[in-house]
Every structure is written in structure tokens, then in C-alpha cells.
Structure 1
């Protein structure tokens, strides 16, 4: 999990949150989390692209 923290610039608790939400595939064995590296990379790309989306201003009526 520490490698995923470095790639995503997130804390352990935040990564566990995304695992619970099924955004990153992982499993726990002998008290250690194992993450799918492809999912970590895909989540990183999704996270960076979603933060760059410009949201249109709401129309006041």
C-alpha cells in the first residue's frame, strides 16, 4: 500500500476508503494490503482528469 500512496499522493486511510468504494481492487493477506497496480494507475489517471474538468456556471433564473 505504501507504493500506492507514493503514486497517488494519498494517505493509507484515503486509499482504504477507495478500496471500500471498489474504485481500486485490493485484498488483504497476513495483515498486509495488496493492490492491483493497473487499478492504481487507472485511478491516478481518472483522478487527475476529473480534477481538470471545468464545470459550467449555474444559470440563475
Structure 2
């Protein structure tokens, strides 16, 4: 794993990059060809983002 992101600006940049990756994946999905595994992957990405948000929030306390 990489080093921990401590400062607020780096945390925001990291989260924006991850969110943009999610949006890119979402844009690339063709609804008629989407399988359950694709949806599960999207949910995992959202869960990871949520986890990072909680982690960053607790580091600031």
C-alpha cells in the first residue's frame, strides 16, 4: 500500500480522483450488456469511497 494521506487538500484530491474513476466506469457501462458482477464492482467502488471518507474524517479528529 502507499503512504497515508494526511493533509486535507491531498485527501480531497484523492477522493476526487477516485470519484472520477467511478464516473468513468459508470459512463463506460452499456446497460443492455451489464451483468450482476458489473453492478457488484460499482457497489464495491462506492463502498471503498465511503470507507476512505470515514477514514479521512477520523484522521482529522
Rg larger for = 1
More strand by share: 1
With the length of structure 1 as denominator, give the TM-score of the two structures: 0.36
With the length of structure 2 as denominator, give the TM-score of the two structures: 0.36
More helix by share: 2
Structure having greater relative contact order (Cα 8 Å, sep ≥ 6): 2
